[in-house]
Structure 1
């Protein structure tokens, strides 16, 4: 569904890791891999990235539901993972993630300039994240010092359910006093984030090159063969298209022309 009517865009809600900070969304992946290694059930980077965008406890549960991981857990412990196991892994995850975040909270190039132009246009800036409030206490000051300081930050533990449920989006829109939801744009680098925007009735913009879909640092992207990079970006675009993104761009730095299109009521994709 395309948001109705060509009303002026009133707010943009940005995701954090992979969208506005942490090029390649590496911090959470690093920690998920380490937590499962410590549990003696190693997982791959791809398995760690699969549920990205969800609240972190739900993310752990989703990894444990992956058939290969579920089989490995059963083999190691003689039974399927329980809710208590999920709680234990999550308890291990939180302090380790807090340690890692300080190394992975750099603002992605182009973000401050785009946000400044959006504010000049009268668009309010909010955000949502799969991180908890305690984790954002580490991230937000680092980002603020580098020029990204949204008015509102909604965290995974602020609402009963994280993405793809729309509750963080609704809470952020309420805090910014922007409605109807057709005046809100969601910018995210994960499928659950795009699905949350669709569930909320907002415009949705998916990010490929800087985010979880590619999963590479700025330096790693620069070293990638151009043909390989192009192929990976096309695959990511196709994935987000299936998820219902109204537009797919490589970076938030490319956002302004998309906003101009949305302001006319025209989706880039239906």
Structure 2
């Protein structure tokens, strides 16, 4: 049985001894789809940043508020890149009737997503890499699911900080933006180097050993990712500050900067 599990893991193309950003996030959210290496890496960061669990919850909560806002604005199509492991409050659950394309490159994420999300409403699960936006936009499954002549909500939730500067994060977002029709939206959250210095240093160090390094950016760089979009109120803010509900503020009595990430929603005119 042990040998069978090992062969299955190898066939999926992942190493359980290398921390995965998707499984780290799952652990921080209290999920069950992670391995000892993921838990060990997360605990290393939590030693200096105990607020990281609350920050992960805040990121998931922002995604939920963003999707509800976008659905309320009349958007009926969502492109969720770097979707991560399925959790409570998936996009198709928050925007009933919408067409949703979930994209990830992690083989474990894809297995879970295809098992749990495919066939749930108008959902499609696609293997794709954010760093290759042209290929993603040409993917036949994406083109079948989404009509790019109509508004699409592009969701980049807690994923752009896994794109290194050498991969051209601004160019990636611009390529995706240019494919969107007027009236489309970008919802983005991004870990920031404006957080506590010791948190930034430790998190960056730990993620060097994961399947994707961490590149935290300052407010100006993150704001630049919204070029070509007009930010809706309240603009680019800390995670719990974006149109919060009462529960979103409970974990951050030391201030919203404890959420460690900035977020915003922009509209393409």
Q: Give TM-score scaled by structure 2 length.
A: 0.38
Task: Identify the structure with the greater strand proportion.
Answer: 2
Q: Give TM-score scaled by structure 1 length.
A: 0.38
